[in-house]
Structure 1
Amino acid sequence: MHHSRLSTLVIDCQSVDLKQATDFWSQALGKPIVTYDSEGDGKYAELATLADEPIILLQRVEHESRVHLDIETDDIEAEASRLEKLGAKRLECVRGRWWVMQAPSGHRFCVVKRQREQFGPHLNKWE
């Protein structure tokens, strides 16, 4: 058995100025900025959310700007396999830490390790 849930809304920004994008989305969504540089490489910024809300990250990317979802799990391989059985495709394992996948609809999403200490009340259990 493993668990998963919607973890993160990731706003992919094809921009060299992630700070400007972060300021915009912070004001647009009414969410304060936690950090302009969460990993120290200028690639990720984070907006503040409550413990029962999805995390909101902004990510500087090379590809066209878009929004994607992250699904967090306590077993990345089991969750990726479950999603493949539903018709998703594995596209890339990034740094050996998460899977970029594609839904049958063409939408990309990621399967990532658990992002918060507590999974919270909105948790799916899979056999």
Structure 2
Amino acid sequence: MHHSRLCTIVIDCETDDLAGAATFWSHALGKSIVTLDEDGDGKYARLATADDEPIILLQRVAHDSRVHLDIESDDLEAEVQRLEKLGATRVSHMHDRWWVMQAPSGHRFCVVRPQRERFGPHLNRWE
């Protein structure tokens, strides 16, 4: 048995001005900026969300701008295998931190370890 849930909406930004993108989305969504440098590498900014809302990250990328979802799970491999049975495929793996997956529709998304200290609520339970 393992658990998973939608955890993050990631706004991929093909830009050199992540602060400008974060400012736009902050005003557009009515969410304050928590940080313009989430991991200390200048690639992620985070907007403020409530504990029961998905995290909103802006990610500086080298590909076309788009939005992707992160699904958090307490068992990465079990969740990836479950999604493969639904037709998703593995694209790339990042140091046991996450899997980039592709849905049958062509959309990319990530399966990640739990992103918040408290993993519940709204968990899906999978046998």
- Scaled by the length of structure 1, the TM-score of the pair is 0.98
Q: Does 1:2 align with 2:2?
A: yes
Find the counterpart in structure 2 of residue 95 from structure 1. 95
Q: Percent identity?
A: 73
Separation (CA, whole Å) in 1 of partners of 2:101 and 2:28: 28
Q: Which moved more, 1:113-122 or 1:42-51?
A: 113-122
- Aligned length, in residue pairs: 127
Separation (CA, whole Å) in 2 of partners of 1:102 and 1:61: 17
Separation (CA, whole Å) in 2 of partners of 1:40 and 1:117: 20
Separation (CA, whole Å) in 1 of partners of 2:51 and 2:120: 8
Give the Å deviation of 1:24: 0.2
Separation (CA, whole Å) in 2 of partners of 1:73 and 1:120: 11
Find the counterpart in structure 2 of residue 46 from structure 1. 46
Runs of 4+ deviating beyond 3 Å: none
Find the counterpart in structure 2 of residue 11 from structure 1. 11
Find the counterpart in structure 2 of residue 104 from structure 1. 104
**Stretches of structure 2 lacking an aligned partner (at least 5 in a row):** none
Give the Å deviation of 1:96: 2.9
Find the counterpart in structure 2 of residue 66 from structure 1. 66
Separation (CA, whole Å) in 2 of partners of 1:80 and 1:31: 31
Q: CA RMSD in A?
A: 0.6
Q: Does 1:30 align with 2:60?
A: no
